[in-house]
C-alpha cells in the first residue's frame, strides 16, 4: 500500500527545477539549454541569456558576444551560430519576459 503525501514546498521546488525558476528555458538543442534571465540589478547591464551544457555555463548578449563563462569549443560555436540566427527573436523574447513575464520559446538548431 502506498500513501501519497502532497507537499507544496517539494512541488514548488520541483517546478522551479523544471522551468529554471526565474530563468525560463527558451530553447534547447544538442544538449545545450538556453535560459533568459531578468536581473533587476544586472551585473551584465545588457539583455542576455545563459547557455548551459553539462557542467559548463556561459552568458551571451544577443550579438553572440561572450560576456562571462565558458563552453566547450563545439558547443560555443553552436550557441554563437544560434544567437546570430535568432537575434530578433531573442530581443522579442527579452522584451516580453521583462515587461509581462511572458515566455517566448525559440526554435533550436536542427
10-residue mean pLDDT profile of the chain (110 residues): values are: 36 35 88 84 76 97 96 98 98 91 94
pLDDT for 44 equals: 56
Residues 57/69, Cβ–Cβ less than 8 Å: yes
Q: In b/e form, how buried is each residue of 10-36, taking b as 16+ CB within 10 angstroms?
A: eeeeeeeeeebeebbebbebeebbbbb
Task: Report the DSSP beta bridge partners of residue 52.
Answer: 33, 57
Phi and psi, residue 59, nearest 5°:
-125, 130
- Classify the phi-psi angles of 54: left when phi > 0, otherwise alpha if psi is within -120 to 50, otherwise beta: left
Select from 92, 12, 109 the least CA-distant residue to 51.
109
pLDDT for 87 equals: 97
pLDDT for 43 equals: 62
For 79, residues 6+ apart whose C-beta sits below 8 A from its C-beta are 32, 34, 51, 58, 60, 64, 71
Amino acid at each position: 500500500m502506498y500513501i501519497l503525501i502532497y507537499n507544496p514546498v517539494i512541488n514548488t521546488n520541483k517546478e522551479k527545477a523544471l522551468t529554471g525558476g526565474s530563468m525560463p528555458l527558451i530553447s534547447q538543442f544538442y544538449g545545450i539549454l538556453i535560459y533568459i534571465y531578468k536581473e533587476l540589478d544586472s551585473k551584465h547591464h545588457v539583455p542576455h541569456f545563459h547557455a548551459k551544457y553539462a557542467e559548463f555555463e556561459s552568458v551571451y548578449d544577443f550579438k553572440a558576444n561572450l560576456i562571462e563563462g565558458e563552453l566547450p569549443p563545439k558547443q560555443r560555436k553552436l550557441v554563437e551560430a544560434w544567437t546570430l540566427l535568432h537575434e530578433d527573436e531573442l530581443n522579442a523574447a527579452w522584451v516580453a519576459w521583462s515587461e509581462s513575464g511572458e515566455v517566448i520559446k525559440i526554435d533550436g538548431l536542427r
